[in-house]
Amino acid sequence: MQIIQSFIHLGSSAMMPIIIFFVSIIFRIPVKLAFKSGMYVGIGFIGINMVMELLLKQLTPVTKAMIIGMGLNLKVIDVGWTTGANIGWNSPIMLTSLIGFFLINVVLLILNLTKTVDIDIFNFWTLLLLGALTYSATRNYWAAVGVTWVLFIIALLVGDKTAPRIQQQFHLKGLSFPQIAYLSWIPFGIAINWFVENIPLLKKIELSPETISARIGIFGEPVSIGFILGLFLGVMGHYSAEQAFVLAVNVSGCMVILPRMITILVEGLEILRSGVSKQLKTWFPAREFFIAMDVSVLIGDPAVMTTGLLMIPFSLFLAFVLPGNKILPLADLTSIMFPFTLSAAYMQRNIFRMMFAGPLIIIAALYLSSYVSPEYTKAFLTSGIRVLDCIIKVTTQKM
């Protein structure tokens, strides 16, 4: 178990090259291409992480300023996805669940019940977290393990079903995204899209990145959208003109650089995808296969980034006004674009429609988080993580 945890703690940028290299060798991809594929994916993740760290560094102070300005004083602190990942990977059910994931994936592939080869091991933490919450609530080991296995199967099946739409909208090939944490928000996208499509006036409003750029030129490109959004967030945080300008430049830079880092990652994935597909076609001539990948591949899309950044002040406002909400959005507020990655495909990446779905997703997240917060705290203790240490880390290092 220690070996597994040490491997996971390498992080995606170091872990994925190893996984991709060995998967490539298994599927008879030449060693030099296997090495190049793994390294390009790792380098892509390094670039994405660097840009996201810059974005986090810039957005955290303005988020704190907005929280202070709104006078938010809620009982439960959002300690972020990294803490959730630690809970999952340190939970008692981790090893049994992990072995089950690999066996289930192989069996479903052999039986032609899934198309997805799930090498996205790092994101298993979302399933392990839900299992840890089940274990802390029931103290039933096998019930908790069973929850992770059932959710893994659902994620694979839904990932297969949603892959063609996501590939088409984001111009990708052969990838699927079987992460239950993000698949769960797709129904909101479907519902909002149906609602807008049935209202003639709203149906005609098209605010995809491509149409915005075509209509208003340079002011519709990511460099300008990022700059304007940065200024907007600076104003919301009561920044000085100089501070707002610096924030605007940095947000603009992130929106320009992030897609280029993703291009490197996708180039590495394409080597893997084509090699795996070629070999699988020789073994299973009439079948189609997908490679599972982290939704980080999608966050560089301007529609996703724009919606996520606009949702930061919305989230704080909703946390303030929603009756019964206990959650103070904090550590994950600057990563708020992630829930919009997959649902965006079902709203044609139309920012107008995504802005309708955004508040609904935030409301659901706040209420669900408030509801499970007692069990979440128990899961901290079961996994050997000190709650106080996590709160101190969030309120000092991140702020």
pLDDT tens string 169-204: 998 888 999 999 899 999 999 999 999 999 988 888
Query: Residue type at 181?
Result: A
- Residue 145: closest CA among 155, 130, 126, 131: 131
pLDDT digits (tens, 9 = 90+) for 80-117: 777 777 788 888 888 899 999 999 999 999 899 999 98
- pLDDT for res 258: 83
Dihedral sign for Cα atoms in the order 357, 360, 366, 368: negative
Question: Six-digit token pair at 167?
Answer: 């590939």
Confidence class of residue 216 from pLDDT cuts 50, 70 and 90?
low
Lowest mean pLDDT across 114-123, 173-182, 209-218, 346-355: 209-218
Residue 387 has pLDDT above 70, yes or no: no
At how many degrees (to 10) do helices 351-382 and 81-89 cross?
A: 40
- Reported in sequence order, the residue ranges of 283-331 that DSSP labels E, i.e. its strands, are 290-292, 327-328
Residue 29 has pLDDT above 80, yes or no: yes
- Residue 16: closest CA among 227, 293, 367, 368: 293
* 280, 27 contact by CB (below 8 A): yes
- Residue 119: closest CA among 281, 345, 284, 276: 276
SS3 295: helix
Confidence class of residue 8 from pLDDT cuts 50, 70 and 90?
low
Confidence class of residue 394 from pLDDT cuts 50, 70 and 90?
very low
- pLDDT for res 353: 93
- pLDDT for res 176: 93
Residues 6+ apart with CB under 8 A from 282: none
- Reported in sequence order, the residue ranges of the chain that DSSP labels E, i.e. its strands, are 76-77, 116-117, 175-176, 290-292, 327-328
Q: How far is CA 391 from CA 177, 370, 386, in A?
A: 31, 16, 9
Distance CA 67, CA 6 (A): 36
